[in-house]
Structure 1
Amino acid sequence: MTLSVSTGQSVDLRVQSVDEILDRVARSLRVRLLLDTVVRKRRSVGARTDRGTWVRIERRPLDKITDQGWNGTECAARLEGVAQPVWQGCVVWRDADGPVMWRADETGLLSAAPVGSAVLSEAPELPEAWWEDLSTSLDALAAHRTRRVATPDTDTITQELVTESIRGVFPGDFDTTVRRWVPAHADLNWANVTAPVFSLFDWEDWGNAPQGLDSASLWASSLAVPALADRVRRERRRDFESRDGKLMTLFVCAKILGPYAHPEDPRLEPARRTAEQVVEELQTG
């Protein structure tokens, strides 16, 4: 029932009823949602519509909505040179039963299917043009200017967060100060890109972040497939070889190796090896 997803408690929309939420969105946007296309994730639900668009609905507690708001998909519509679905409109409301906001964004359909889950276990077949379009889009994004601040995993990324995350897992005599902040998608993984035609979606968390965050995030999403992870590093070499890119490599490795590490995560060992190498480079560089 709706009450089960409207309180401030942690919820999982994959298992809890969202029927009334879907009905409200359909009425507000004056569209019919095709229920046989519904995709449910932990904090969001999406579906195709009868007018050839896609609607993504997200639930977010008020304390996870920063001063900049949470209209990332809407704000990303102005980003030129970045392959993404066209934004159409939205509806936003506060839940009457708890400190929670709901937001539904309507966009054009994806140009192709999502590549897979956030963490891949086998390599996808990606044409050369896909890799070219990935880099073109990331470079175009980084060249933009914004006052937004990225919120990876809904946490606002700051110098303090970067330092605490890295120091909490990788002690050592090296500086964690970020030198260059640029616009980033901030949730770049294999569940948020399409293939064989490249497109990047789910823009709710984008904003300024240390250079290399997106490249490092996609690399971390690829670590269970060594050849794929190596390809990401080659394609985005400029990011990974930069000092900030090395810090972001440690930042994403800290999430894999930190206190919430899963003992059966196949990314543990490659993340550990890479982190040791990067720490050494930062200490001697």
Structure 2
Amino acid sequence: MTLSVPPGQAVDLRVQPVDEVLDRVERSLQVRLLPDTLVRKRRSVGAGTDRDTWVRIERRPLDKIPEQGWNGTESAARLAGIARPEWHGCVVWRDPVGPAMWRADETELLPGVPVGAAVLSAAPELPDEWWPALNTSLDTLAAQHTNRVATPDTVTITQALVTDTIRSVFTDDVDTTVERWVPAHADLNWANMTAPTFSLFDWEDWGNAPQGLDSAYLWASSLAVPTLADRVLHERRADFGSRDGKWMTLFVCAKILGPYARPGDPRLGPARRMAEQVMEELRTG
């Protein structure tokens, strides 16, 4: 159950054959994947099944699997009061050739369609009840308890990571110590939420993170649409008004403006202006 990948070449499930992987998942979960529903991304593949469920398959390198394990979707099943797909089961195996693990999680179908891409270029049409549902789920999540640590972008978030990321772009010598760590989804963007019925999915990386991480990620995902970014700031104003929320705003701004910044990215200007504003607030606050 391996991929035919030349040595040294990165695995990209959008282009590489995955038939053997899909066959193994079908046998292990005793389910048939529906070919016309197949969605292929760089490191994951998803498909509907003949029992009206969804299966998401991911390949993750061993060095990207933290000590806490690799069961975010499974462990999120115990979270109450959050709009998300119910988890049914999984299969996990070690890649027999490469230094990686495979995991397939089966969940109930989404109640709607993904709002859009990870970074939107146009404002989505959302019903009035969508925003209260988002706020309820995020606030309920932050009030719960876990020993997991969030792994945004598959990297475990730590105080050192926060400090190093911010100071790699913003050189002001200010105390970046995070005071409040709360459970977060850690990959909150418009591709991981549904509409018109709100639901939050893809829980692989959830865990404790600085207050405001989710809100900051959603704001960054909205920056190419100024009215949408402003709506996120308004809806999640309690996060953005906190000191930790300001650090998370700088954290995501540093990711946009840092060494991997893309020329022509419409988020560059808004991120730079927001970063200057937040730095001034931190200096004077």
TM-score range, shorter chain: over 0.9
TM-score (norm 2): 0.98
Sequence identity of aligned pairs in percent? 79
Q: Is the Cα contact below 8 Å between 1:6 and 1:98 reproduced in 2? A: no
CA apart distance, 1:174:
1.9
Q: Is the Cα contact below 8 Å between 1:90 and 1:104 reproduced in 2? A: yes
CA apart distance, 1:43:
0.6
State the SS of the aligned residue for 2:84.
coil
Which residue in the other structure is 1:44 paired with? 44
CA apart distance, 1:11:
1.5
Which residue in the other structure is 1:26 paired with? 26
Q: List gaps (5 residues or longer) in structure 2.
A: none
State the SS of the aligned residue for 1:45.
strand
Pick closer, same or farther for the CA change 1:97–1:7 going to 2, 3 Å: farther
Question: Aligned letter for 2:152?
Answer: P
Question: Aligned letter for 2:178?
Answer: V
Q: Is the Cα contact below 8 Å between 1:2 and 1:17 reproduced in 2? A: no
Query: How do 1:1-285 and structure 2 match up within 5 A?
Result: 2-4=2-4, 10-285=10-285
TM-score (norm 1): 0.98
State the SS of the aligned residue for 2:187.
coil
Q: Is the Cα contact below 8 Å between 2:55 and 2:106 reproduced in 1? A: yes
CA apart distance, 1:98:
1.4
Rounded Cα–Cα distance in structure 1 between residues aligned with 2:6 and 2:78: 32
Question: Aligned letter for 2:215?
Answer: S
State the SS of the aligned residue for 1:191.
helix
Pick closer, same or farther for the CA change 1:5–1:114 going to 2, 3 Å: farther
Pick closer, same or farther for the CA change 1:14–1:24 going to 2, 3 Å: same
Rounded Cα–Cα distance in structure 1 between residues aligned with 2:130 and 2:228: 13
Question: Aligned letter for 1:229?
Answer: A
Q: Is the Cα contact below 8 Å between 2:2 and 2:96 reproduced in 1? A: no
Rounded Cα–Cα distance in structure 1 between residues aligned with 2:40 and 2:7: 19
State the SS of the aligned residue for 1:4.
coil
Rounded Cα–Cα distance in structure 1 between residues aligned with 2:132 and 2:157: 28
Q: List gaps (5 residues or longer) in structure 1.
A: none
CA RMSD of aligned residues (A): 1.3
Rounded Cα–Cα distance in structure 2 between residues aligned with 1:253 and 1:267: 9
State the SS of the aligned residue for 2:190.
coil
Instruction: Give the length in aligned residue pairs.
Output: 285
Q: Is the Cα contact below 8 Å between 1:219 and 1:232 reproduced in 2? A: yes
CA apart distance, 1:173:
3.2
Rounded Cα–Cα distance in structure 2 between residues aligned with 1:126 and 1:163: 36
CA apart distance, 1:10:
2.7
State the SS of the aligned residue for 1:32.
coil
Q: Could you list the per-position Cα deviations for residues 63-100 of structure 1 after superposition, in whole angstroms to 9, with x for gaps in the alignment?
A: 11111001000000011011000000000000101111
